[in-house]
Every structure is written in C-alpha cells, then in structure tokens.
Structure 1
C-alpha cells in the first residue's frame, strides 16, 4: 500500500502549515498519507519511533523554517518582524501528535494539552540546544527536606522534568514565543533538505541526571 511508486513527495518548497495559521497545508497532508513512516504505528512493519522523529526533524522543520525566514524583516539593530509565531509551534505539535498516533487537539483538547508532546517537538526542533529551555526540561533533585541535592563538586543535580504536568505546555509555548526570534536560524535553514528515503540520524538525548 505504501510502496515507493505510490509516494507523493513532500512539498518541501512550501510550509507544512496553511499560511500563518496552525492549520496543516493540504499538500503536506496528502503527501504524509502516502508515507509509510508517517502513517503506520510504531512497531508495524519495522517502523520505529526514531524514524518518525527523523522524518519530522529533517523534512517538516526545515521547510517551515524556510517559510518563516522568508516572511521575516530584520530592522537596523537586529529587531525581527514577522518571524516565528505561536501558531507555528502549535501546528508542528499537531503534526507530531498525528505522526505518533496521539490524541489530536480537536478530538480532546484536555488530553492533548497534557500529553507532553511539546518536549518531543522541542528536542527535535531547531531550538533543541538553546539554554533558555533548560529549566523547562529539567528540575533539581531534592532530598527529604526539600533541599536541592548537590554532587561532590557542589553542583546542583538535575533530573528530567515531567512534561505532562498541567501547565507545562503553556509554559513552554510562552518561553518559546519569547525567544524564538532572538537569534537567527541561518545554519538550520541553509542546510540541504533531506530527500525522501534519506532520513538523517537525529540527535539523541541522554536520560541520566545532569549537574550544573
């Protein structure tokens, strides 16, 4: 059913979203429905979660980034007008939910709001290494007295923060919206877009405790 001869190539010359909205572009919708990696569930016919994340990271994000950069106006002094908007990230999270067979916002907004997909989207996005998101992704390890645990060098020990906690998605979107346009994404936008069947290995994240 999803043989390569039936594939509709992703229209990477345009945005995965319909203009400036969070609604998905129909050409991208049609292409995604012919892509076995996108459509099949993890575990079906050898499809892995990593393949799905590679697809979103190397096809969807670069296409959206090029569209956003094309609508930007950089004023003297570096102020950016018309850059990233909240709808861009909300729309991308909808793509992640569908690709990973999660509950869509329009099916149950309460479930979707606390599914933690914002973390997955961030960690496979152009902002994955930005320090502004550190405290959203991590929290201090505390002892029985509620005091932060420190290592032998006196550094606070951190662990992964639960991304499904109520309010975390809104907190992430607030931070992202505030910093997304603060630095250019030229290196990300200018890189070669992956071709169909040429998914690149995405960055993997360590799950061990961090110390800073």
Structure 2
C-alpha cells in the first residue's frame, strides 16, 4: 500500500482554496491525495491524529494566511479590504473533515453542521489563543440551583462547552468573521511567516480540567 504514496510537495506558494471561495484548490487536492498522513485513517500504518492536526496546522494554515495577507489592502484610517472571509474558514473546516475522515458538507450538511469540527479547526489555527473565543469554547459550571460554581478565591469555574450543540458552528463562524481582521496574527507580518510549522502555530497542550477566571 505504501507504493501508492509518493513524496509530493504541497503548493504552499498559493492558497489551499480556489481563489476567494471555500472550494479546495486542485493542486492542493492532488498533493493531499499522495500524502499518507492526509489520506490514511488514524491507526493505519502508524498514522496518528496528532500527525494529521500538525499537517493542517503547520502546512495548510500558514499557506492560507500568507495568501490572505497578500490580498489585503489597508486604507487610510485602518480599514482592511480583502482580508479574511467566511469562506476561508469554511474551506479549512472541509479540509479538516476530509483529513479526519468525517462526513463532508456535500454528503450530509446536517451531520457536518453539528460535528464540532469548528473547535478543532480553531484550536489549531492562528486564532487559537485569542481571548474573544473563551466563552464560545467554555461555559460556567452550574450548581444544583443553576448558579455558577465559584472556587475558593471566588472565581467562576468553567468547563469545556460541547462543540456539537446545534448552532455552535454558526456562532463560531459569526464571531470569527467579525474579529479575524481586528489585529495582526502572531507570526505573520507583511506576507511573511517566521517559518512553516513554527511553534507559534504549533501544537500546545490544552487544559483538560475545569478552568477558573
């Protein structure tokens, strides 16, 4: 089976999406089809979920970010034209679904709409540490009376929110679209990244316990 896969470089000089749409770019599709990390399922021939997420985070996202930044125009007063569009995130979520062998939007839009992939895409994207997403990712822990639980210092305790709840994907896309261009991305400036796969976009451990703020 390994013989079916070749070392094909991804065309990182252009966007993984076709122009300004959410459709996948044909050269990227071809390259991905020969990439064992992308094509094989988790567990096949040693392929891991983390390898797949690293591929999307360190190859796909930087290429898209460079392309988006290159099309931007900053007008007098700071208004940005041609920045991040909703289709950019929707297209990336489609790449995630295929790479992780999940149901595609065009196969079953209802299933895809509630698969929670938005959270995985966000947590491996350049916006992963933006505080604006905290309340979208987390919710207060409630006591038996429906009141927020507080820790010994009086801070509200939070837990991870279920990303598959109906409406969460739309809420994420609405928020992301509203703030994606609000400030520069860390590690990206003037169409240059520090390096594909740099730790600025690398995987970092997530807290699994309840949070307090």
TM-score by length of 1: 0.94
Instruction: Please report how far the alpha carbon of residue 56 of structure 1 lies from its aligned counterpart in structure 2 after TM superposition.
Output: 0.1
Instruction: Please report how far the alpha carbon of residue 77 of structure 1 lies from its aligned counterpart in structure 2 after TM superposition.
Output: 2.5
- Per the alignment, residue 163 of structure 2 pairs with 163
Greater alpha carbon shift after TM alignment, 182-191 vs 129-138: 182-191
SS of corresponding position for 1:165:
coil
In 2: Cα distance, 1:5 partner to 1:34 partner: 5
- Per the alignment, residue 209 of structure 2 pairs with 208
Query: In the TM superposition, what whole-angstrom CA distance separates every residue of 1:120-178 from its partner, at most 9, and x where no partner exists?
Result: 00000000000110000000000010000000000000000000000000000000000
Aligned length: 208
Alignment of 1:88-99 (within 5 A): 88-99=88-99
Preserved contact between residue 105 and residue 112 of structure 1 (Cα < 8 Å): yes
In 2: Cα distance, 1:171 partner to 1:142 partner: 22
SS of corresponding position for 1:159:
strand
In structure 2, runs of 5+ residues without a counterpart are: none
Cα gap change, 1:110 to 1:182, in 2 (>3 Å): same
SS of corresponding position for 1:145:
coil
Query: In the TM superposition, what whole-angstrom CA distance separates every residue of 1:30-63 from its partner, at most 9, and x where no partner exists?
Result: 0001000000000111111000000000000000
Instruction: Please report how far the alpha carbon of residue 201 of structure 1 lies from its aligned counterpart in structure 2 after TM superposition.
Output: 5.2
> Is residue 193 of structure 1 aligned with residue 196 of structure 2?
yes
In 2: Cα distance, 1:37 partner to 1:108 partner: 24
In 1: Cα distance, 2:3 partner to 2:49 partner: 20
In 2: Cα distance, 1:116 partner to 1:17 partner: 21
In 1: Cα distance, 2:4 partner to 2:83 partner: 36
TM-score by length of 2: 0.94
SS of corresponding position for 2:59:
helix
Query: In the TM superposition, what whole-angstrom CA distance separates every residue of 1:180-206 from its partner, at most 9, and x where no partner exists?
Result: 0001126245221249xxxx9512211
